């Protein structure tokens, strides 16, 4: 009780005064109505009330996860979970100490506080409301009402606006600096001991992050209005999970959709006139700089022949149990922090070092951008929102409106680096970095990003130099570059920082174009056809490989023959009832290294159809059968049935209940993507993939939306909404979302909850 009294007093003191003078002295207030699957419908008269209600409802479902996230961004993981424990930063695990050092050094809280003063009043109000709503839930829950997973833990505490600023900064850096957290946290001048933690340079495609998004215009839909299919691929665990909400706020704002942990309103969803989704873009939101170190001092570097001192920052990280804190000194340059990836030859020597400049560092424009999207009445206004603010950090925006227009805007906060500058400022080793980032010469001031008129921050690429397309037919993206959103009209070539041009597309992208073309050719698109399209679970890899492989099976013997028999009967899909899917999954991995795998190489004139035709000449036929024999033998030795049901192999455990999960890896050319980890018992547990799937069209009254959240609303196993949508997803059961007051009342579960203070 004493602890709760302290919480209450602290929370009251931490509530930030409202930014809008018109709201001064008024109370925070919101009404929360829950409907099927626990989806909250939050109504408030002002923006503070919106944030207040969203935070309260989110904490009801995911308090422990959000409380842990606030500890993470504060750099307190080592203190609570030990320095050697693991943190999920974005899409990868890193050690807690590296996480803490990163957040305590890279997040410039003073700069964020200063920047917050220039945010629009409604954004400030939203954040203040979120702080108040989260703290209100802690008071209401009391010590006994905290979920078991974090009950009595010191890291569950009231928050302040600083916590929101840190969390927002982390979200902006998800696809850039955050992926190099250990590389930044462990960078030290030459002569210091080598770091003891793993450091890598991840590529977003290797991480498996992605998404699919479709926008259909009036030329191809059954009712002549726009339609959106959204299928973002995000983690099934951790703070990057989506959470559904419906928000009705001031000035006619009404949006239903999803957000991530700490998001005070939907960032993906629909209103009465437009629907939108996002996919991770191939554009790079940072550049690397190669430094010329001053021979006299490894903490100085040369620019235009003059020596500059690096900025030293001492970071102290508290340790658990009263142990002595860990102190590190990190260094930063005019280009950003120094980083190392020793395994890739990126080291800090007496001759050279490397720094990272991130376009999303300090990007506080995102919330206002998504508010403007949520207010949009047509895709033109969405395009204007993303173009004028450049606040979208690292995702494509794919949208359609009730008037039948479809939009794909690959417009984000991108460094203004032209193809000419990338070439002129390249260093001799720039080619070694090409798959990951553009490397520029840090010894030349002229290699800084170019300033362009009209951008909110100097050095950002203007929207006019990025890719945005509006059509009446259809556009789609599966994380490949802007080059093709519809094969009928490829985009002109732009700066290489926006992605690859005229290069081979991923199997998932090719599958998308193939299946979407078939969908459109098969007739006008309505909800039923769109739903079947989203959950088809076809494997393009299987379609490309099996015809030739099965002809080789006439010569197969033993284990290879047994594998052939199973694959011949397999439906080439990853449905729960598909038999042979796990065998092919393993086989595809086994043949990936065969040279000359495809008889027909990639052709830029046919990016959808090439490469193709399994190469069986030379010794390839023998290698293909040998690989099958090896895979079959391994599976049989491990006691795995070759023709097991896919739903018995990939599943989610809800207590003692096994929930089968259809879908499969994107690298097999499966649109409904799922990356899974192998458990100790050999089963595959979903890790990262299909999450919130929405199909949104429009009738004369408003939006018509079917959706499902694959991993459900709550991370608390005791919640009735921890697995309910997972069961529905398993059964391919869609949910018609209630948007009108009448529909909400009909689906309400329990009485509306009004909170105010």
Active site residues: 211
> For 294-418, where are the E strands, in sequence order?
300-303, 306-309, 311-317, 326-333, 336-339, 352-358, 395-401, 406-410
User: How far apart are alpha carbons 107 and 208 in whole angstroms?
Assistant: 26
In sequence order, what DSSP letters do the residues of 179-211 get, joined into one string? GGHHHHHT---TTSPPPSS------HHHHT-EE
Angle CA 411–415–421, to nearest 5: 120
User: How far apart are alpha carbons 268 and 482 in whole angstroms?
Assistant: 20
User: How far apart are alpha carbons 654 and 723 in whole angstroms?
Assistant: 7
User: How far apart are alpha carbons 473 and 450 in whole angstroms?
Assistant: 36
Strand-strand pairing, 227-235 and 684-690:
antiparallel
Q: Which residue has the tokens 């050319």?
A: 669
Which run of H or E residues covers position 530? helix 527-534
User: How far apart are alpha carbons 443 and 174 in whole angstroms?
Assistant: 28
Spell 551-567 as b/e; 16+ CB within 10 A means b.
Answer: ebbeebeebbbbbbebb
Which run of H or E residues covers position 624? helix 620-637
Cβ–Cβ < 8 Å for 156, 64:
yes
DSSP, collapsed to helix, strand or coil, labels residue 602 as coil
> Rg of the chain over CA atoms, in angstroms?
26
Please report the sign of the dihedral spanned by the C-alpha atoms of residue 343, residue 345, residue 347, residue 353: negative
User: How far apart are alpha carbons 577 and 185 in whole angstroms?
Assistant: 47
């Amino acid at each position: 009780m004493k602890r709760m009294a302290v919480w209450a007093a602290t929370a009251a003191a931490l509530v930030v005064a409202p930014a809008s003078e018109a709201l001064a002295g008024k109370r925070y207030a919101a009404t929360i109505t829950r409907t099927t699957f626990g989806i909250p419908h939050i109504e408030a008269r002002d923006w503070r009330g919106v944030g207040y209600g969203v935070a309260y409802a989110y904490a009801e479902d995911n308090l422990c996860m959000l409380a842990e996230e606030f500890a993470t961004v504060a750099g307190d993981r080592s203190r609570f979970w030990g320095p050697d424990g693991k943190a999920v930063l974005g899409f990868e695990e890193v050690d807690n100490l590296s996480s803490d050092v990163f957040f305590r050094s890279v997040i410039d809280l003073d700069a964020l506080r200063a920047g917050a003063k220039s945010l629009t009043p409604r954004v400030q109000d939203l954040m203040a409301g979120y702080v108040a709503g989260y703290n209100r839930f802690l008071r209401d829950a009391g010590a006994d009402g905290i979920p078991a997973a974090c009950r009595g833990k010191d890291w569950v505490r009231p928050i302040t606006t600083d916590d929101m600023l840190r969390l927002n900064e982390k979200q902006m850096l998800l696809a850039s600096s955050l992926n190099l957290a250990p590389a930044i946290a462990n960078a030290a001048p030459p002569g210091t001991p080598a770091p003891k933690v793993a450091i890598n340079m991840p590529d977003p495609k290797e991480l498996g992050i992605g998404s699919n998004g479709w926008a259909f215009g009036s030329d191809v839909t059954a009712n002549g209005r726009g339609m959106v299919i959204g299928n973002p691929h995000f983690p099934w665990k951790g703070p990057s999970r989506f959470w559904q909400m419906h928000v009705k706020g001031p000035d006619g704002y009404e949006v239903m959709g999803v957000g991530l942990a700490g998001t005070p309103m939907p960032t993906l969803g629909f209103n009465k006139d437009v629907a939108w989704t996002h996919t991770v873009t191939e554009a790079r939101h940072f550049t690397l700089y190669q430094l010329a170190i001053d021979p006299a001092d490894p903490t100085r570097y040369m620019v235009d022949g003059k020596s500059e001192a690096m900025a030293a920052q001492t970071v102290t990280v508290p340790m658990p149990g009263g142990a002595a804190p860990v102190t590190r000194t990190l260094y930063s340059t005019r280009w950003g922090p120094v980083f190392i990836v020793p395994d890739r030859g990126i080291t800090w020597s007496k001759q050279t070092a490397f720094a990272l400049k991130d376009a999303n560092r300090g990007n506080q424009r995102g919330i206002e951008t998504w508010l403007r999207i949520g207010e949009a009445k047509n895709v033109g206004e969405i395009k204007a929102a993303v173009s004028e603010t450049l606040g979208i950090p690292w995702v494509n925006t794919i949208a359609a409106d009730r008037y039948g227009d479809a939009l794909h805007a690959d417009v984000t906060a991108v460094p203004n680096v032209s193809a000419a500058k990338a070439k002129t400022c390249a260093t001799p080793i720039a080619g070694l970095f090409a798959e990951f980032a553009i490397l520029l010469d840090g010894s030349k001031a002229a290699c800084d990003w170019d300033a362009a008129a009209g951008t909110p921050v100097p050095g950002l690429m203007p929207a006019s130099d990025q890719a945005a397309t509006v059509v009446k037919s259809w556009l789609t993206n599966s994380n490949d570059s802007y080059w093709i959103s519809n094969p009928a009209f490829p985009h002109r070539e732009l700066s290489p920082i926006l992605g690859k041009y005229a290069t081979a597309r991923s199997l998932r992208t090719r599958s998308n174009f193939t299946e979407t073309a078939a969908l459109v050719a098969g007739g006008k698109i309505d909800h039923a056809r769109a739903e079947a399209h989203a959950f088809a679970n076809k494997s393009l890899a299987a379609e490309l490989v099996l015809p030739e492989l099965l002809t080789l099976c006439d010569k197969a013997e033993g284990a290879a023959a047994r594998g052939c028999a199973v694959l011949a009967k397999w439906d080439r899909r990853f449905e729960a009832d598909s038999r042979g899917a796990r065998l092919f999954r393993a086989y595809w991995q086994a043949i990936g290294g065969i040279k000359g795998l495809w008889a027909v190489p990639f052709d830029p004139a046919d990016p959808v159809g090439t490469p193709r035709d399994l190469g069986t000449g030379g010794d390839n036929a023998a290698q293909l059968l040998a690989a099958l024999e090896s895979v079959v033998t391994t599976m049989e030795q491990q006691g795995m049935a070759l023709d097991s049901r896919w739903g018995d192999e990939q599943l989610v455990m809800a207590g003692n209940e096994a929930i089968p999960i259809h879908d499969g890896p994107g690298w097999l050319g499966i649109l409904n993507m799922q990356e899974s980890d192998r458990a100790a018992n050999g089963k595959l547990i979903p890790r990262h993939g299909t999450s919130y799937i929405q199909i949104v069209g429009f009738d004369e009254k408003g939006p018509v939306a079917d959706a499902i959240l694959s991993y459900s609303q709550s991370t608390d196993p005791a919640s009735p909404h921890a697995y309910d949508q997972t069961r529905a997803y398993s059964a391919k059961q869609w949910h018609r979302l209630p948007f009108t007051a009448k529909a909400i009342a009909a689906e309400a579960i329990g009485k509306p909850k009004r909170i105010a203070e």
